[in-house]
Chains A and B, each alone.
Chain A
Amino acid sequence: MTVAVALDAPDDFEGWRDAARRLLMAGVSPDMASWRVKGDAGDLFADGDALPDPAPGAPVPRVSAKFLQLAKSALLHTEIERFSLLYGLLFRLQDNPRLMDDATDPAVRRIEQLARTVRRDIHKMRAFVRFREVVEPDGSERFVSWFEPEHHILRANASFFVRRFTQMHWSILTPQGAIHWDGTTLCEGPPARKEDAPAGDPVEALWGKYYASIFNPARLKVGAMLKEMPRKYWKNMPEAALIPGLVAGAQAREARMIEAGASATPGELQPETLEVVAKAIQACRRCPIGCNGTRAVAGEGPKSAVLMIVGEQPGDHEEQQGRPFIGPAGQLLRSHLNDTEIDLNGTYVTNAVKHFKFSPRGKARLHQTPTAGEIDHCRWWLESERALVRPRLVVALGASAARGLLGKTVSVQKERGQPRLLEDGSELWITTHPSYLLRLQDEARSVEEQRFADDLRRVSERRTDLTR
């Protein structure tokens, strides 16, 4: 004859354990016991059978702590068969106490899977419960959450929230029941509806902003997100409403990039010849200066020059003729070089920035200093030129050129007069830009011109040393 056992609640572990112990002692085999929860729909025998008396002299059943721990979790699963699966395993353990160590046994595996699912549900509840603040009639604040757990984990999980929010008043409402905490005692309530919980909380807008901002659209991995945060949880998480928009935005960004791809950057590899550099800079649109419609000005000089002179950017004249250092500042540089042994024809001359940045003033185009960001963008080209020419000496005219070579802004006045070693072993000499001299008047100009000439003289001497 079968024994029908009725448990008080779907998560009634104590009830299950007491009943299982009695059944074992009476020698009831697993197929002769049926299990259900009192009050479940269609349950005509609400109270179940009386548990049979123990067989005379039957030993008190013993079981490993490992089984009990697993059973406590597995029993919270919604699987209807869980009580009898557990009793079945418990029954077999009496003859084979080490069965629990055999993870390849189908029954052990099944129970382990149930327990794992429940533990995950418990963990996800701790993660995905969202409280909303309400002010109670007495003026105190309470934090209320609506959550729909998949398994019977509410009671088992209450202590976590007590430990975490001891000083807060809070309630967690679920379709299976509710728990309330007032700072000292935990009490249970009847099943609740979503409408019983508050509909919103002003802090959610901030949280949504945070969620959207911490997302990196360049690494869209929707699958990885869904694996850990399946859609079933989304309905009670305020930030989840943003997901479709964020994904669509990232995909649109992706489409734009594919579209722009055809005319985009020339690729990862550094250009192989100076001719390629000269051609490719015409198409460079990596910064706003590149997009202003002017002609880019390439460097000039022998491929194997010992000395490279770097200016800031092409000016009005340079842009019109497409050659570097031919405007007033270039003329001044040339005249100073005539006093040294440096031959401009044997020197590679170029600029830190390849396009002309200006602001229109009537018919004139007034020079504008490039920003640090623009110089950094253009460093790609300058480095390509350096890699191809491999000069042993580099002269930077002014702070922009120095930044183009060093990657950081330095003070020209502090740096001038002595060389700095660049990564490839070449020497960098920093001095002022000749256009600075052009802006000075009278005595200041003659002082600065003298210093400029001194700097160039040192470079010239150094060049002679190196080429001797």
Chain B
Amino acid sequence: MTQKTVMERLAILADAAKYDASCASSGTTKRSSAGGKGIGSTEGMGICHAYAPDGRCISLLKILLTNHCIFDCHYCINRKSSNTPRARFTPQEVVDLTLAFYRRNYIEGLFLSSGIVKSAGHTMEQLIEVARILREEHDFRGYIHLKTIPEADPGLVAQAGLYADRVSINVELPTVAGLTRLAPDKSATQIEGAMGSIGSAIVENRDARKRFKSAPKFAPAGQSTQMIVGADAASDADIVTRAGTLYDRFSLRRVYYSAFSPIPDASAVLPLRRPPLMREHRLYQSDWLIRFYGYAPADVGRAADEAGMLPLDIDPKLAWALKFRDDFPVDVNRAPRERLLRVPGLGVRAVNAVLSARRQRRLRLEDVARLTVSIAKLRPFIVTADWSPTLLTDRANLRALVAPIKAEQLELFAA
């Protein structure tokens, strides 16, 4: 068999990587290429250099080093028993591609992952080698995200953190039962152990850098993880609770949710239908509520129905408000920040604007209207100088008044 061209292998290895949701290039230290001999900079805020027709940001060159894999996880297109075409890159080839793309301003850097070949340790060494060549031989100062292999030696994982801005390990499934069933070769204990050691390495390093300026940086953009939604029986409440625990225990920057996507040559242990993409969206919204709006995971859980599922037709914040109507209306001229953040339709930016504007004068409904998209949806939940929603929050049809007009979500790819 003749060797596949770089182009053919790029197609295979990018295709194999597209089920990883993350493409973030944000949250790392500020760097520039001034005074160096290579290229690259990071400015804290990530940049999306293109968007694909699936609406996802393309910020990094996101590929696998190889999609050969000795593991057999059912949700994964690269599992051993899948008959997908296989390819591999050498570390040098990945380095050359990254630099060629970076010079033309196509990308912010590299997100490298890999199927497991030979052993976890060997695979991890190969991933680290790519990062090492980029950083040491080319003085590359752009963004590097390495997916680490939980089964690899902790020493190797620690080494990855020295070259990479972000390291991540996927917990894959929200429940241990799901993992045992769908990823028979993986172990939840091992995954959490590796996340724990990365977490503590990050904390230690932050501490060391406070005392010694010369301490090397360890994964300055932190660690993240990904959960597959809808491949096992976990409810939204389970998933949100699990994410809450992960944020707490491993000081994660981000948890990504990936709606299980019908993959070619799917394994039959998986449900035949994929979950609606809207479910993934609602989970991201809940995640946002926990990270930026002061909701506890249990709050989000309370917005769900008896089966623990969040409504698909309205967002979780509105769902929570409709369930806890006693907490409303909120007086925009008096209420503290955390109460304002609970008002459906008021975002963080609008709340900040309300807080600084009300120091100037008492706000009227039209003032609030200028700060938000739809005052009609907001009105039942607030009190202003000239407005108070008489009994509106008690109306049985409140949900119909404020819920968006229902557009049937297209389920055209249910395989």
In Å, the complex CA distance between A154 and B45 comes to 20
Candidates A211, A213, A223, A239; contact of B55 at CB < 8 Å: A223
In Å, the complex CA distance between A381 and B272 comes to 12
A267 within 8 A of B: yes
Q: Map CB proximity to A onto B262-301 as digits: 1 under 8 Å, 0 otherwise.
A: 1001011101111001000000000000000000000000
- Are B53 and A215 neighbours in the complex by a CB distance under 8 Å? yes
User: Closest Cβ of chain A: how far from B80's Cβ, in Å?
Assistant: 7
Could you say which residues of chain B place their CB within 8 Å of the CB of A98?
359-360
- If over half of B's interface residues share one DSSP class (helix, strand or loop), that class is named, otherwise mixed; here it is loop
Instruction: Please provide the chain A residues from 155 to 184 with a CB less than 8 Å away from any CB of chain B in the complex.
Output: 160, 162-168
In Å, the complex CA distance between A98 and B14 comes to 52
Could you say which residues of chain A place their CB within 8 Å of the CB of B50?
127-128, 211, 229, 237, 239
A145 within 8 A of B: yes
B82 within 8 A of A: yes
In Å, the complex CA distance between A408 and B415 comes to 23
A123 within 8 A of B: yes
Q: Map CB proximity to B onto A81-105 as digits: 1 under 8 Å, 0 otherwise.
A: 0000000000000000011011110
- Are A383 and B269 neighbours in the complex by a CB distance under 8 Å? yes
Across the interface, name the chain B residue whose C-beta is closest to A267: B272
Could you say which residues of chain B place their CB within 8 Å of the CB of A163?
32-34, 41, 43
Number of A-B residue pairs having CB atoms within 8 Å of each other in the complex: 228
User: Closest Cβ of chain B: how far from A105's Cβ, in Å?
Assistant: 8
Candidates B40, B74, B100; contact of A376 at CB < 8 Å: B74
- Are B181 and A225 neighbours in the complex by a CB distance under 8 Å? no
Stretch at the interface among A71-79, A199-207, A317-325, A391-399: A199-207
A265 within 8 A of B: yes
User: Closest Cβ of chain A: how far from B109's Cβ, in Å?
Assistant: 11
B412 within 8 A of A: yes
User: Closest Cβ of chain B: how far from A98's Cβ, in Å?
Assistant: 6
Candidates B39, B49, B101, B415; contact of A203 at CB < 8 Å: B101
- Are B184 and A407 neighbours in the complex by a CB distance under 8 Å? yes
- Are B371 and A224 neighbours in the complex by a CB distance under 8 Å? no
Across the interface, name the chain A residue whose C-beta is closest to B106: A207
Could you say which residues of chain B place their CB within 8 Å of the CB of A126?
47
Across the interface, name the chain A residue whose C-beta is closest to B366: A104
Known: A130-B106, A213-B18, A376-B74. A246 touches B53 (CB 8 A): yes
Candidates A101, A213, A250; contact of B53 at CB < 8 Å: A250
Instruction: Please provide the chain B residues from 93 to 115 with a CB less than 8 Å away from any CB of chain A in the complex.
Output: 97, 100-101, 103-106
User: Closest Cβ of chain A: how far from B242's Cβ, in Å?
Assistant: 20
Known: A167-B37, A167-B38, A167-B39. A371 touches B83 (CB 8 A): yes
Candidates B277, B367, B415; contact of A257 at CB < 8 Å: B415
- Are B33 and A220 neighbours in the complex by a CB distance under 8 Å? no
Candidates B56, B269, B368; contact of A407 at CB < 8 Å: B269
Candidates B14, B33, B62, B104; contact of A143 at CB < 8 Å: B104
Candidates B58, B181, B356; contact of A101 at CB < 8 Å: B356
Known: A207-B104, A228-B48. A379 touches B267 (CB 8 A): yes
Q: List 15 A-B contacts (CB under 8 A).
A: A98-B359, A123-B45, A127-B48, A131-B105, A164-B39, A166-B35, A210-B63, A215-B18, A218-B261, A218-B274, A219-B55, A225-B53, A228-B48, A268-B272, A371-B83
The 8 A-B pairs with the shortest beta carbon distances in the complex, nearest first, are A224-B55, A372-B81, A221-B55, A103-B353, A380-B268, A163-B32, A213-B14, A104-B367
Chain A residues within 8 Å of B, Cβ to Cβ = 98-99, 101-104, 106, 109, 123, 126-133, 143, 145, 160, 162-168, 201, 203-207, 209-225, 228-229, 237, 239, 243, 246-247, 250, 253-254, 257-258, 265, 267-268, 286, 371-373, 375-381, 383, 406-409, 423
